[in-house]
Amino acid sequence: MDRVFASFTLANPVFVMPQVRLNRLRLPLLLIAGMRMPMALASEPEASLALLEPTAGQGLDGEHQDLAWSLHTRPPDLALAQSYEPGIELADYLVSEKFDGVRAFWDGRRLITRGGLIINAPAGFTDGFPDHPLDGELWMGRGTFARLSGTVRTLKPDLEAWQQVRYVVFDLPAAEGGFEDRFKALEQLFAQAPNARLQLAHQHPIADHATLQARLEQIVAAGGEGLMLHRRDALYQAGRSAHLLKVKPYLEGEAVVLEHLPGQGKYEGMLGSMLVEEPDGTQFKLGTGFSDAERANPPPIGSVVTFKYHGRTKYDRPRFASFLRIAEDL
């Protein structure tokens, strides 16, 4: 099911309708929702309201399939990680677990995803959060990304699901100094934080590549995704840089879905594989890593997917490529 999108700016409540079809019964609801818009939102001229329909294949349960109003704002300027390659001076970095959650920026009064979605957390979830901006991940535990993503996307909070969510914080973007200094400030800040939903992504020194690999194997064996390396003396910098590195047992890439190729045998009538294209124009077939639900409702043509792979072939195509998920669009 493709995303259905209709929006209007709050400064000028006139609908802007992309060329998609909306059910006749939905349009009156859009107008009603617009008339009931809280006046407080008028102070957010850059924000817009969007009608979202969850993308198929993301593991959402029945409670998350309803259409929901979601408020968007300007995406935050976040530090983004590059992939780790051996050869750097690891003594210059601190290491922590890589949490497979939804990246969330706390601006002092609300949680915002990397894509600019204002998260409608349940009442009380952010009580006691500091006034300072925080950078972290909403996390339910190892191996729970699909459920977490559905929980975060839902307008009406699933209180039972949110009971399992924690906000794991790893940086203090507005603080001065290098990462190590910012982390010490975070520790002091958290010592005064009364909310058990707040957790700190503990940082540790790492001696060498062999020690790093041993730590990675330990985390992955326990169901974790990988590790993160923060350069000790680096100022907070938006965008990708070598100051922030992700360490995984595999490489990751992104590609655009060009075509759905039919399955055979037990997958007859379902997706067999997808023809995809990387940003540099390299095309290849992606045929493993899909659940039966994802084969029945594959990522839409034109969407961006994340895949894992192990090096490149002599033809410069990803080796042993496997589907991971639709690229994060939150």
Catalytic entry in 98, 156, 248, 266: 98
DSSP string, 136-155: EEEE-STT-HHHHHHHHH-S
DSSP letter at 111? E
Q: How far apart are CA 104 and CA 138, in angstroms?
A: 6
* Residue 263, strand partner residues: 268
Q: How far apart are CA 25 and CA 134, in angstroms?
A: 41
Could you tell me if 292 and 269 are in contact, meaning their C-beta atoms sit under 8 angstroms apart?
A: no
Question: Which residues, in sequence order, are CB contacts of 89 under 8 Å at separation 6+?
Answer: none
Collapse the DSSP code of 38 into the 3-class scheme (helix H, G, I; strand E, B; otherwise coil) and give the result.
coil
Question: Which residues, in sequence order, are CB contacts of 62 under 8 Å at separation 6+?
Answer: none
210, two tokens: 């062999």
Burial of 127 (0-12, 13-18, 19+ CB in 10 A): exposed
> Interior CA angle at 80 toward 75 and 86, to 5°?
170
318, two tokens: 């990803």
DSSP string, 254-300: EEEEEEEEEB-GGGBTSEEEEEEE-TTS-EEEE-SS--HHHHHSPPP
Q: How far apart are CA 7 and CA 73, in angstroms?
A: 12
Is 98 assigned a catalytic role? yes
Catalytic residues: 98
